[in-house]
Structure 1
Amino acid sequence: MTDAGAVALAREELPAGWVRATLSELCDVNPRGFDEEPDEDDFISQVPMASVEAETGRMDPSVQVRFGDFKRKSLTRFQEDDVLFAKITPCMENGKIAKAQGLFGGRGLGSTEFHVLRSRGGVLSEYLTHYLLQRNVRIVAEQHMSGAVGQRRVPRSYLEALEIPVPPLPEQRRIVAELDRQLAHIEAGEAAVAAAVRGMAELRSSITDSAIDELDDALIRPLKETLREPLRNGVSAKATNDGTGIRTLTLTAVTRGEFINLYTKLTTADPEKATKLWLEDGDIFVQRSNSADLVGTSAMYRGVSDWAIYPDLLIRVRVDHALALPEYVALVLETNRVRFYFRQNARGLSGSMPKIDQSTIENAALPLPSLEKQRAIVDWVQQQESVIAPLAESVDAAQAESGNLRGSLLHAAFTGALVPQDPADEPASVLLDRIRAKREAAAKPPRKRTVRAPRKARKPAPPGQEELPQ
């Protein structure tokens, strides 16, 4: 049922009436267009990548466009109840997956970086959306990405071969209803945690900003004048599944503005290319591509050298310790002033992948006081952060607990433990067989009738050779 490229995410024994099926059996993957083509003057929704929320399954379809103005553009066509799956990094990892609903005129145009899944009737789009939003699904999908540096995508073939558990249709409805009910409570808690996270980030920023803003008389230098070596991008490499390969950071390692060494993977990175990418204590990493809010986020690595390498979406900054302390430079790069500068100079803010280049980072303005003054600022900021550390730890713990609760709920839903089974429900296999038979019948070409040529009139026999009756 699956090919070698697809990985079964869970092989628990299925409840009665359930069946495993691939997405290619359940859905049209990237259908050619709409079931019904709009007229040129019809208005439909436009849904760029930025209009799809991360990890919620929701989108904003409020932007309307005249179809005739966009029909010849290279945009993805989808319609009400389709499921959109962001295929490009880091949008897929961030959970940009949603059910299309509330579309103006029931149809929409979106980013070319969406895969579209259109159910054939055997799986609810809401059920499929919840399933794809699971973190472990996205982790496995990330391992099968392919493509050029900075443009890695989940291939269509992987999605087609992805196998999912399918309950009877009535049970799917019960699962979705219960998930929606319980996720509403979880999301309310997550909103409170998110507000606390933002508050902590703003508090940390205000501490750093206040320290740097006092340097009115410091000499302003571009970052490039403090470098020990040129900036360097990382490498794009596919994750391995056999426990071998080179340890490589993921983008998440620096997403929160602090280095988290838990976010790594083993990859097939070329050892020759890796020789120049090994981490050193004091390396600073800047995200060159991410969402508009996160592009330019940076963090400093403290630890042993040659522990891991870094991916292509990060740019490494190594400063000359005779001119600047890496701890000080890392603080400046996280100030609101520099982050605003990065956002203002990012390319592609209206698309799915805002980017900053090495030149933008090199020319970031740094107030550069003496090394002694830099050390005093770093010490003062660290002292202030130690005061708020207990609060930050409690926020981190609440965030982790929220994520674990969501994961446990989804796991229960897709193993049959969330709602009771009803023996009266039609088994999923019966429904899928009926849908399959209907499609096969519709695909068979009509039988052609054979038109026979008219019989030729027989020539009369010569005299004396007429056929005699038997």
Structure 2
Amino acid sequence: MSEELPNGWVWATVEDLLAEKIINGRSVPTQEGGFPVLKLNAIRDGHIDPSVAKEGAWTEEEAKPYVLSPGDFLLSRGNGTLSLVGRGGLVSKGCKVAFPDTMMRIRVNPDLIDGKYFCLMWNGPLVRRDIESLARTTAGIYKINQGILRNISITLPPLVEQRRIVSALETELSRLDVADQQLAQAQARLVHLRARFVENTCLGRGREGVESSAQLAPAAVDDGMVPSLPAGWEWKRLQEIADVVGGVTKDARKQSDPDCAEVPYLRVANVQKGVLDLTQVNTIRVPREKASQLELLPGDVLLNEGGDRDKLGRGWVWEGQIPGCIHQNHVFRARVRDGAIHPKLLSWHANEFGQRWCQANGKQSVNLASISLSKIRLLPVPVPPEEEQVELVKKLENAMAVFDRTAEQLASARAKATDLRRALLNAAFTGKLVPQDPSDESAAALLERARSERASAPKPKRARRSTIKTSTRLASAADVRAPEDPQPVHAGEQTALEF
């Protein structure tokens, strides 16, 4: 709270701005035909999408205290990603949907603060800084509670200035949104163009001349429609041109065995599409003979065996970056025999045609996809004549350099848009976006009036709490009167005690 504020502005806590108490949502199991309740991902870019909901095991009457109203602000109570905990959205219109226990509801006093201003401020850099510094973590989940929220401070301008700020921000942010969307679309088109260029080059498409009459030998796999190749090219199964092996399985018993060699090894996380990420390479203890058998050599092609479905078959070429490095069992190693195909051509092919082929021939469990060693050995590979391979590699390397530069430029432009958004929000919430008007009623006066009204308002009567007398305080027999016509209470009709 060290920022110097313009005249008429004050710092206020969320507690100062509340129209009623913050409440947590309710945990509700899914039940077909029940009253709808939001899912956590209904909070989207500062608004609430009521269509992102499930049917809950409660009635409309039970859900009533949690049903959305216009102006409600909902935020996430916890998330595995720090930047997402506490993110919130404004409810623009009422709808028949309630919010769950993964969210909290804030209702602000509209005489003090504009709902849109609050939403923009809340998701802006000043409040995000406080939330991320105050969030607590348990078992990898970042959480915030009502006590934290009530004490978060925000800048409060005069109410009419808040509306001017909202108007200016909506105009400028909408322009940034359009620009960012166009950049994101350009990135997606670039990825698509890159993939098509690689695949077409690896399959010899666009080359003049007659087609090859060579056929792919059938095998016990789903090859789909195998494209034709230019004259002189051949389809080969991967096992015909390379030795393909699996990696080492981690054995907890060997990790403390001093007779085993401790060596670096590559995991699925290290083997990316078209690149090896070696920023974090772990070590493992394995028998020395095994380490020698699995040691990677320059030119080895690494292909992923499992993980998410889109990771099957992806990989790149090892260039000897780390001496003595091996690979785990979820990464295959293909070592080309007798220079049958350039390793980069093989890897580029595996990253496009090969990934789709692996998805068709792999298996899928609930959270994991994989392809067996016996099947990956049957991957169809187009093999150009040796004299053409050097030309193709040079063509692809030149094109990849262009694609990489373009991707960097697009990423840089999006990063600048993000920085501009942050600067715009900072300016807005420190009084530097729109001019101040001395005739506006100050925020301090608004706060003082709201506090006075709150202090003079009649205290709400507390509902009497039902209690159960124990045997330590027995009622006098004279005070106990039997009803004139006692009626039994049937199962399911008891009234719940209020706690």
Quickly name the TM-score band, shorter chain normalised.
Answer: 0.5 to 0.7
Given the superposition, is the C-alpha separation of residues 91 and 13 from structure 1 closer, same or farther in structure 2, using an over 3 Å criterion? closer
Distance in 2 between residues matched to 1:43 and 1:100, nearest whole Å: 22
- One of 8, 16, 23 as aligned partner of 1:31: 23
Contact 1:45 / 1:104 at 8 angstroms: preserved in 2? no
Match of 1:99 in 2: 90
Paired AA for residue 191 in structure 2: A
Match of 1:193 in 2: 183
How much has 1:14 moved relative to structure 2?
A: 0.9
How much has 1:185 moved relative to structure 2?
A: 1.8
How much has 1:287 moved relative to structure 2?
A: 12
Deviations 1:96-134 (A, max 9, x none): 6321113325x5435x43333221333222112212333
Deviations 1:55-91 (A, max 9, x none): x323433468888856569x97543212222331349
Paired AA for residue 190 in structure 1: D
Match of 2:296 in 1: none
Given the superposition, is the C-alpha separation of residues 387 and 181 from structure 1 closer, same or farther in structure 2, using an over 3 Å criterion? closer
- One of 178, 191, 195 as aligned partner of 1:205: 195
Q: Which has the higher contact order (CA 8 A, sep 6+)?
A: 1
Given the superposition, is the C-alpha separation of residues 340 and 433 from structure 1 closer, same or farther in structure 2, using an over 3 Å criterion? farther
Distance in 1 between residues matched to 2:16 and 2:305, nearest whole Å: 42
Matches within 5 A, 1:403-418: 403-418=418-433
How much has 1:193 moved relative to structure 2?
A: 1.2
Q: In the alignment, does 2:29 pair up with 1:18?
A: no
Distance in 2 between residues matched to 1:33 and 1:329, nearest whole Å: 50
How much has 1:441 moved relative to structure 2?
A: 4.7
Distance in 2 between residues matched to 1:316 and 1:158, nearest whole Å: 46
Distance in 2 between residues matched to 1:226 and 1:131, nearest whole Å: 55
Is the partner of 1:101 in helix, strand or coil? coil
Match of 2:137 in 1: 146
How much has 1:12 moved relative to structure 2?
A: 1.6
Given the superposition, is the C-alpha separation of residues 63 and 202 from structure 1 closer, same or farther in structure 2, using an over 3 Å criterion? same
Is the partner of 1:104 in helix, strand or coil? coil
Distance in 1 between residues matched to 2:329 and 2:104, nearest whole Å: 32
Match of 2:255 in 1: none
How much has 1:47 moved relative to structure 2?
A: 3.8
Paired AA for residue 148 in structure 1: A
Match of 1:88 in 2: 79
Paired AA for residue 151 in structure 2: A
Match of 1:120 in 2: 109
Distance in 1 between residues matched to 2:412 and 2:167, nearest whole Å: 29
Distance in 2 between residues matched to 1:217 and 1:256, nearest whole Å: 22
Given the superposition, is the C-alpha separation of residues 33 and 148 from structure 1 closer, same or farther in structure 2, using an over 3 Å criterion? closer
Given the superposition, is the C-alpha separation of residues 137 and 199 from structure 1 closer, same or farther in structure 2, using an over 3 Å criterion? farther
Distance in 1 between residues matched to 2:85 and 2:371, nearest whole Å: 28
Distance in 1 between residues matched to 2:419 and 2:74, nearest whole Å: 25
Match of 1:241 in 2: none
Given the superposition, is the C-alpha separation of residues 427 and 389 from structure 1 closer, same or farther in structure 2, using an over 3 Å criterion? same
Given the superposition, is the C-alpha separation of residues 80 and 258 from structure 1 closer, same or farther in structure 2, using an over 3 Å criterion? farther
Q: In the alignment, does 2:210 pair up with 1:218?
A: no
Matches within 5 A, 1:32-431: 46-53=37-44, 56-62=45-51, 78-86=68-76, 87-90=78-81, 92-93=83-84, 97-105=88-96, 108-109=98-99, 112-121=101-110, 122-135=112-125, 137-138=127-128, 141-142=131-132, 144-149=135-140, 152-156=141-145, 157-207=147-197, 211=202, 217-219=236-238, 228-229=247-248, 337=356, 356-357=367-368, 360=369, 366=376, 367=379, 382-431=397-446
Structure with greater Cα Rg: 2
How much has 1:92 moved relative to structure 2?
A: 4.6
Contact 1:33 / 1:78 at 8 angstroms: preserved in 2? no
Contact 1:93 / 1:142 at 8 angstroms: preserved in 2? no
Distance in 2 between residues matched to 1:97 and 1:254, nearest whole Å: 36
| TM-score (normalizing by structure 1) | 0.57
What CA RMSD, in Å, does the superposition of the two structures yield over aligned residues?
A: 5.8
Distance in 1 between residues matched to 2:160 and 2:95, nearest whole Å: 28
Is the partner of 2:188 in helix, strand or coil? helix
Contact 1:169 / 1:428 at 8 angstroms: preserved in 2? yes
Distance in 2 between residues matched to 1:154 and 1:369, nearest whole Å: 50
Structure 1: where are the runs of 5+ without partners? 1-7, 35-41, 233-252, 265-273, 307-314, 348-355, 448-470
Distance in 2 between residues matched to 1:441 and 1:417, nearest whole Å: 36
Paired AA for residue 23 in structure 2: P
Deviations 1:264-315 (A, max 9, x none): 9xxxxxxxxx9869xxxx99999989xx9x999x999999999xxxxxxxx9
Deviations 1:406-436 (A, max 9, x none): 1221111011011111222222233223333
How much has 1:95 moved relative to structure 2?
A: 9.4
Q: Give aligned pairs, total.
A: 367
Paired AA for residue 403 in structure 1: T
Distance in 2 between residues matched to 1:136 and 1:301, nearest whole Å: 45
How much has 1:161 moved relative to structure 2?
A: 3.1
Distance in 1 between residues matched to 2:21 and 2:66, nearest whole Å: 12
Match of 1:269 in 2: none
Given the superposition, is the C-alpha separation of residues 129 and 257 from structure 1 closer, same or farther in structure 2, using an over 3 Å criterion? farther
Is the partner of 2:107 in helix, strand or coil? strand
Distance in 1 between residues matched to 2:271 and 2:132, nearest whole Å: 18
